[in-house]
Amino acid sequence: MPILIKRLLLTIRNHIDQLSWQAVVLAILVHMGLTWLLLAGAGEQALLAPNTFFYYYVVTTSTVGYGDLSPSSDLGRLLVALVQIPFGLALFGMLLGKAGQTITHIIRRAMTGEKDVTHFANHIIIFGWHPVRTRKMVRYILADDKRVRRDIVLAVTDDIEHPFFSEPNVSFVKLSSYTDEEQLKRVGISTADRIIVEGADDNQSFTTALKISKLVKESAHICAYFDDESKAQMLSEHCANVECSSNRTAEVLVRSMEDPGASRVQQEIMSSLHGDTHFSMVIPNEVSRFTYADIFELFKRQYDATILGIAHNLSALDMDLNPPLDYAIQGGDIIHYIAPVRVLAAEVKWP
């Protein structure tokens, strides 16, 4: 028994020392109950009904004092003056201080990346921080008004503060490693739907994409960027759920030289900020087979969209660009098209 009492006293002391929410709430409830008992003992029956007492207690203890409810007896007034208001003011100040401390702690955790988002599902994770490119990525994602509404999580190892604090849909998590499974749990890696990997260098991008490719859910899609094309090819061979892209400066320069304006076309169709943009759409599984000719005219007439090609998986490694008119298409295939705005599968009147 003495051990239990000792543990209880130690717990109470810890709560008081740390000014925990439990200690604050308990102190207020004790003070509220004591006030009610004292008023009952003083015969203040008009103040004792639960709804009336709660209103009276808050108004009086906070010293707002509307005056519509107050003790009517000398003893009641004395108890309020000596017990309720002095101790109540201290508790009210403690409550405001604890609330301010909690809000400050939440903001500090958000700014420094200490939080975790394990409760997120079907979200976007961006691994890596580049002051210019990452800001563009987030801006392009948010500019797509008809996209699937996914929360965005920026995961970094850099010593920075939240660069998108003003964006309510962007969370910030600072990790010590992109390959440690315990760290990756903090960003909800197992429930993420879309992932972008652009590390500080190709080695970091390679190891990060390789690690997370085994941790994500089956329907998740990973995009990774490399300067070295050989690393992109190597990763693609080992991880089917990773779509690798690499620096295509040479190809773009040659195309622009041979066909002036080619680089401008590429910029236009990749940006969701203005003009027609490249989108993709998974055809619902229940849709019957049809041909490229059937859907090409439908998209152009109804949505002012042009179909570029058909793919059969998210990575589009087997995409057929500009297929013949009799090309067979079925549910589960992926349509790549350019249009002024995204077209949703539910909006299409399928052939």
* Per-domain boundaries in the chain: 2-111, 124-247, 259-347
**pLDDT over 60 at 323, yes or no:** yes
How far is it, in rounded angstroms, from Cα 139 to Cα 270?
13
Long-range contact list for 157-166, CB < 8 A, 24+ apart? 157/200, 158/129, 160/129, 161/111, 161/112, 161/113, 162/110, 162/111, 162/112, 162/113, 163/129, 163/131, 163/134, 163/135, 164/138, 165/110, 165/111
What's 2-111's CATH class? mainly alpha
Confidence label for 11 from pLDDT (cuts 50, 70 and 90): low
Which pLDDT score is estimated for 12? 54
Q: Other C-beta atoms within 10 Å of 329: how many?
A: 23
Tokens, residue 59: 């108004």
Cα separations in angstroms, 331 against 280, 289, 315, 335: 14, 7, 17, 10
What is the per-residue pLDDT for 24? Answer: 82
Provide the pLDDT for residue 198: 93
CA–CA gap between residue 215 and residue 208 (Å, rounded): 11
Q: Which of 12-16, 31-35, 192-196, 305-309 has the lowest mean pLDDT?
A: 12-16
pLDDT digits (tens, 9 = 90+) for 64-106: 878 788 888 888 888 888 888 888 888 887 888 778 877 777 7
What is the C-alpha to C-alpha distance for residues 183 and 169, in angstroms, rounded to an integer? Answer: 21
Instruction: For domain 124-247, say whether CATH 3.40.50.300 is its number.
Output: no
pLDDT digits (tens, 9 = 90+) for 159-210: 898 999 888 889 999 999 999 999 999 999 999 999 999 999 999 999 999 9
Average pLDDT over residues 235-242: 88
Give this prediction's pTM.
Answer: 0.69
Q: Which pLDDT does position 305 carry in this prediction?
A: 93
| Alpha-carbon 258 to chain mean position | 44
Q: Which two tokens stand for residue 213?
A: 């490719």
Give the least confident one: 111-115, 200-204, 214-218. Answer: 111-115
Which fold, 259-347?
Alpha-Beta Plaits (3.30.70)
pLDDT at 44: 87
